[in-house]
Structure 1
Amino acid sequence: MGISRDVESRRRCCFTGPPRTHSPCFPDPGVPLSTTNDHLIDQAAPSGATDPDTADPVAADPIPAEPKTFAELGVSTPIVEALASHGITTAFPIQEMCLGLALQGRDVIGQAKTGTGKTLGFGLPLIQRIAAPASDDYAQLPEAAQNKPQGLIVCPTRELALQVATDIEQAGAGLGIRVLSIYGGRAYEPQIDALRAGIDVIVGTPGRIIDLAGRGDLDLSHVRELVLDEADEMLDMGFLPDVEKIVALIPSNRQTMLFSATMPGQIIALARRYMNQPTHMRASDPGDDSATVDAIEQHVWRAHPMDKVELLARVLQAKDRGLTMIFTRTKRKAQKINDDLTERGFAVGSVHGDLGQGAREQALRAFRSGKVDVLVATDVAARGIDVDGVTHVINYECPDDEKTYLHRIGRTGRAGASGVAVTLVDWEDIARWQMIDRALKLPFKDPLETYSTSPHVFTGLGVPEGTTGRLPKGQRTRAGLSAEQVEDVGETGKRTRGPRSRDDRRGSNGQRSGGSERHGSTASSGQSSSGQSSSNKSSSTQESNNSSGSSSSDASKPRRRRRRRTHGGKPTGGNAAS
């Protein structure tokens, strides 16, 4: 969730009931997780139940529509004040359901739709339960545990790790919590230096966490709060083996919180192995079995590939459009759309695999600050980007499956706000879309044939009549991507200049002749500098030995062997190379 939202004006949602104190999923303390029932509790028991072990999990009393404040839910005053400074005073359903148990140190599984506020659901208990450097509890820690991470949050993507770290840092500002995000694409040295200086909470991706732990730079032996965020996405991306390696490095006497939008069987199995009698809290509207957020207005159109950019440019001029995200399936298509829209006058940034980490973060900062109002991204960024004010999401290409569709459109309609999602389906993708439509029970089985001049484009989205595919010069008020400085992140193996250009192509000798070579390690340039004197000496030697007085540049070239002409075994002339 974006932490700088105005909750009071946008929060409206109800859920099934308050949290129970003991889940019937794991009825007896000490019973191995693998021997418990095959289902997890979907609803919570009434708060007035005298015996939580015998309470009927189905007979849950609905919570009053009036939301509770974080102070009423037991969140400490410094955290409440930090949240209030960002306009956050009341809790969303999933937060209200989880905070009671999580603040007590119980293991919790939180399940809610994308964009419903899961971050603070695990973030606030983690911040409150660790010993902050400014607190009296910190001095009571063993000396070996001081300045070592006490909390670990594992995220599937770099962008999500960066966003979660920002939210945690802002919420814990009043306690002096030290938060570090660690992920690939950045240099190791700054992260290692921060770990040595002292860190309280780590937010990172599985690969970099395992890497730093394996090198001995990250000590996880004092972690007592573990969070697995977006667990279903980590499953989809193949990170579960890495997650298990990370869990094995953490003491067993910890609190574990697992949050996810969906709960597939492998995630349930993971919970059974590594969680201690967790309570499964699921926030949803009564009778709502849809996977999409109701606040998102969805449009699905069948578009012609030759007309899509023109159609897209007109959609981007819809009434009341704020920040907009455009999703593609390939890196090349993302960059092409970026270039096309920029040429048409829009302020555009992009996030895809051909960009280095510095360029990605530049685009995200520019997007969050409003310097650009259009961000083109591949699916790799769908889970991680959480920005306030995203009013429109455009699927320029049909998603691969229903999960990808949900992840994409979930970038809008977050935290109680409304949003618009437009999906453009090519003719050859109709079958794929119909599978998505059927899986999500959507009413768009046969997408409406749409062109850039179709009347429903103008009436349905509020695009002014007469709008063309170019943004009028009078409306080009954004500062643009160039107004955001590129940070030197000391990247590990990625370019910062964007996709490969002609200068990056390999020459006849098999080496890159352009920017990618120049962007390589500084050792290359050092070797060139150090080798300069020896090169000059070699040239001088060749010049002195060259009887014909050729230039040093000629002398530095390799000499061609000439074939000697002979007559009767004797040379015929003096021009042969000796």
Structure 2
Amino acid sequence: MTLPVALSGSDVIGQAKTGTGKTLGFGLPLLERVTVLADVEAGRAKPEELTDSPQALIVVPTRELCQQVTNDLLTAGKVRNVRVLAIYGGRAYEPQVEALKKGVDVIVGTPGRLLDLAGQRKLDLSKVRALVLDEADEMLDLGFLPDVERIITMLPAKRQTMLFSATMPGAVISLARRYMSQPTHINATSPDDEGSTVKNTAQFVYRAHSMDKPEMVARILQAEGRGLAMIFCRTKRTAADIAEQLERRGFASGAVHGDLGQGAREQALRAFRNGKVDVLVCTDVAARGIDVEGVTHVINYQSPEDEKTYLHRIGRTGRAGAKGIAITLVDWDDIPRWQLINKALNLKFPDPVETYSTSPHLYEELDIPAGTKGVLPRAERTRAGLGAEEIEDLGETGGRGRKSAAPAAREERAPRTPR
């Protein structure tokens, strides 16, 4: 739906649920607007239209989403050899500055690092013809909107602007009014969707005891037909603890949370995409917008903060027409919070049934084979594990955070050089 409007050069506001393929909706028109050497050679553009300064800018809220969008655009722009660069914090400045010096066509970046480099005059935004603000509601939640506005003021007034957001809070609407010219508003929700949740995802909600949850999760992960699984926690400490517990129980698991250095976060994500680990434990911010094919199960280990977070979590499965299963484990003291989410989304679980790792209905509803215990049998431990995925030395800025869960990764980390 976005494509024809975006290709015509008009400003676009796209409102779509997570998992509906927004990246290509803005990515293809964006790549079309960029002039590269291949266009000059084919006679589609004049040589004087070529520039080494970025011609398109995509601003995203998180590092993981930044990497993902960059990879999607590199794939889509391969034929014309479009130069796409990811700019985000947690990595050394030098390689990013070097790449900018060599010349870049499209930049995907997080607000903080973009402002840093622009402030140091290492990043020239004066040639940008197209701007995309992706996951604008999340940028608002993370407090990035003032930074985004500062970035917009550095761009040429004559440009195409596209804004994408799952929800449209007042601050996002007023941002659009200030910086967009006669935008076309496209709402990509299908009439047969039930409420706000994706209809392809089967949802289950259980009242669970915190002491029994690790055992429950270990059994759920052995359900028939389970592909990749994502487990969401509210706190970094819980995420680290669960990833460790699952590893002890024989599962190939990785973690993505704020206490890990950027190298360890990227290592876990790569291992998950490559299938070396099939369970990824994450916190909400770190997992925002992560799109990995083959995620069949999402487990909310702790009740989400609100309905928006719930939708984003379960939106990691049931993507682009595939079927998915979302399981939420609600502690006794989280029941009031869950009831607000249930009411806001018009779900049918106001009073989740009390459930334990031995409850027959858990096995039945989630298709867990009878006799399954909380440890993965040795014969089924076929994944290579996190240690098989090398950790990249990113010359990280700031603290390296907690040690990575994988011993192999710990050894590979370069010692920190004194400043």
After TM superposition, the score normalised by the length of structure 1 is 0.69
Any idea what the Cα deviations from partners look like across 1:331-387, whole Å, max 9, x if unmatched?
A: 111111011100000000001111100000000000000000000001112313110
Gaps of 5+ in 1: 1-96, 501-514, 524-578
The alpha carbon displacement at 1:287 in A equals 5.8
Counterpart of 2:22 (choices 97, 110, 118) is 118
| Correspondence for 1:411 | 316
The alpha carbon displacement at 1:434 in A equals 0.3
Counterpart of 1:244 (choices 144, 149, 156) is 149
User: Which SS does the other structure have where 1:238 is aligned?
Assistant: coil
| Correspondence for 1:340 | 245
User: Which SS does the other structure have where 1:173 is aligned?
Assistant: coil
| Correspondence for 1:140 | 47
| 1:442 is the counterpart of 2:338 | no
User: Which SS does the other structure have where 1:492 is aligned?
Assistant: coil
**Partner AA of 1:184 in structure 2:** G
The alpha carbon displacement at 1:520 in A equals 3.8
| Correspondence for 1:285 | 190
CA distance, structure 2, for counterparts of residue 236 and residue 519 of structure 1: 35
| Correspondence for 1:382 | 287
**Partner AA of 1:99 in structure 2:** L
Larger radius of gyration: 1
| Correspondence for 2:417 | 521
Any idea what the Cα deviations from partners look like across 1:262-309, whole Å, max 9, x if unmatched?
A: 111211111111001000011122264611100010000000111111
User: Which SS does the other structure have where 1:156 is aligned?
Assistant: coil
**Partner AA of 1:133 in structure 2:** L
| Correspondence for 1:259 | 164
The number of equivalent residue pairs is 410
After alignment, is 110-119 or 368-377 more displaced?
110-119
CA distance, structure 2, for counterparts of residue 311 and residue 441 of structure 1: 26
CA distance, structure 2, for counterparts of residue 279 and residue 384 of structure 1: 24
| 1:127 is the counterpart of 2:23 | no
User: Which SS does the other structure have where 1:162 is aligned?
Assistant: helix
After alignment, is 405-414 or 131-140 more displaced?
131-140
Contact 2:193 2:199 in 1 (8 A): no
Contact 2:33 2:129 in 1 (8 A): no
Q: Which portions of structure 1, spanning 4 or more consecutive aligned residues, are displaced by more than 3 angstroms?
A: 137-142, 518-523
| Correspondence for 1:355 | 260
After TM superposition, the score normalised by the length of structure 2 is 0.95
CA distance, structure 2, for counterparts of residue 482 and residue 521 of structure 1: 24
| 1:150 is the counterpart of 2:46 | no
CA distance, structure 2, for counterparts of residue 499 and residue 283 of structure 1: 39
Contact 1:327 1:334 in 2 (8 A): yes
CA distance, structure 1, for counterparts of residue 329 and residue 189 of structure 2: 29
After alignment, is 376-385 or 252-261 more displaced?
376-385
Contact 2:18 2:289 in 1 (8 A): no
The alpha carbon displacement at 1:176 in A equals 0.5
The alpha carbon displacement at 1:98 in A equals 1.0
CA distance, structure 1, for counterparts of residue 197 and residue 323 of structure 2: 12
Any idea what the Cα deviations from partners look like across 1:139-187, whole Å, max 9, x if unmatched?
A: 4335xx6111000000000000100000011001001000000100000
CA distance, structure 2, for counterparts of residue 491 and residue 298 of structure 1: 39
Contact 1:122 1:227 in 2 (8 A): yes
User: Which SS does the other structure have where 2:13 is aligned?
Assistant: strand
Contact 2:161 2:180 in 1 (8 A): yes
| 1:480 is the counterpart of 2:374 | no
**Partner AA of 1:152 in structure 2:** L
| 1:104 is the counterpart of 2:8 | yes
Alignment of 1:287-366 (within 5 A): 288=193, 290-366=195-271
CA distance, structure 2, for counterparts of residue 329 and residue 460 of structure 1: 25
**Partner AA of 1:218 in structure 2:** L
| Correspondence for 1:370 | 275
CA distance, structure 2, for counterparts of residue 461 and residue 421 of structure 1: 10
CA distance, structure 2, for counterparts of residue 419 and residue 431 of structure 1: 26
The alpha carbon displacement at 1:477 in A equals 0.1
